[in-house]
Amino acid sequence: MVNDFLKMGPHDVGGEVSHSIDTHDHGMSYWEKFSNGLRMALTSTKIITLDELRLTAESFGQKYFEMEYFHRNARALVEICQQRELFTEAEFLEELSRQKKIFEVPIINLPNKEQIAHLHDGVEHKHSQSDFQEDETGEGPPEFYFDMLAAASILQKKNFISAQDIQSRIEKFDKVFPFRGISVVARAWVDSNFRKHLLTDAKTAIKEIGIQLESFADIICFAQSDSVHHIVVCTLCSCYPRTLLGMPPTWYKSRTYRSRVVHEPRAVLEEFGTKIPSNKEVKVHDSNADMRYLILPQRPKGTEGWNEKELTQLISRDHLVGVRIPEDVIQ
């Protein structure tokens, strides 16, 4: 099984046998957010493209499977920048060394005594010297973050991007984007004309209510119904309507979700607590770099007369991906 797994192309995961899904979103560390911010600052200005990043990562061969998601992206980004002569390997290695030194933890020379005594509530208490030296093993930034820091530092010095370009994208993905999709759904629940427009031309409809999508990809919206349940995946990597929903959750990017949902969607949905009747069709929509999907859930029963603001309290990101369903309101 392992050999067959490694022989597959990097993105050929649909239908692959896998284990159960960790349905909890573990969030993103700051260095992961920084890496995304840098990548998006570069791709939004077309200094590099997503297609280039993906193709470069695919060229890693066996190493592709040995690297984590952000590690692959970092190495691909650095390699493209060097190929484009945005900076040389020597410049990168010099800056990489400088960035790593910033994070070095100084070793504190303590008194050379086997035991160091002090008082706890008036009672003498002793420590060995090793108790005072904090162990940083496994703590702090991962290796890919240093790659991204070094690349960002050089590109800023050469005026390709600014620190604000990166920070503004981090803030948008944290504070702005996650609420856009929710507001779109709430509007569709109270405005039948907007709903109709959303289902026929989502990108234009969304722009007409004042939401400017910082994305080159098109968007298609599918409505949940009594006869069909829709669910979204990206078997390639993690293509996702980020400017509507923020960053994709941990499980969405996992190989387990990407491989299983295309061939056993009902079983996957049950792991999220969503049971679909056997007489209801399940459709899986596979996103890519040019096409993203938004799922319009059915309006919960018991919300008649509610306004948009009230309705937004019932909507979550998982509803707009299709892995969960909003609960009806009990009066």
Residues annotated as catalytic (active site), given as ranges: 234, 237-239
CA atoms within 13 A on the CB side of 208: 12
* Longest Cα–Cα distance in the chain: 79
Q: Is 140 left (phi over 0), alpha (psi -120 to 50) or beta?
A: left
What Å distances lie between residue 130 and 111, 120, 127, CA to CA? 11, 19, 8
**How far is residue 211's CA from residue 204's CA, in Å, rounded to a whole number?**
10
Burial 295-317 (b: 16+ CB within 10 A, else e): bbbebbeebeebeeeebbebbbb
Q: With CA atoms as reference, report the closest residue to 287 among 11, 10, 9.
A: 11
E strands, the chain, in order: 115-120, 123-128, 218-223, 228-233, 281-286, 291-296
**How far is residue 11's CA from residue 57's CA, in Å, rounded to a whole number?**
10
**How far is residue 166's CA from residue 162's CA, in Å, rounded to a whole number?**
7
Q: Are strands 115-120 and 123-128 parallel, antiparallel or unpaired?
A: antiparallel
Please state the φ and ψ torsions of residue 286, each to the nearest 5 degrees. Answer: -100, 110
E strands, 72-216, in order: 115-120, 123-128
**Pair of tokens at residue 260:** 């299983």
**Pair of tokens at residue 251:** 């499980």
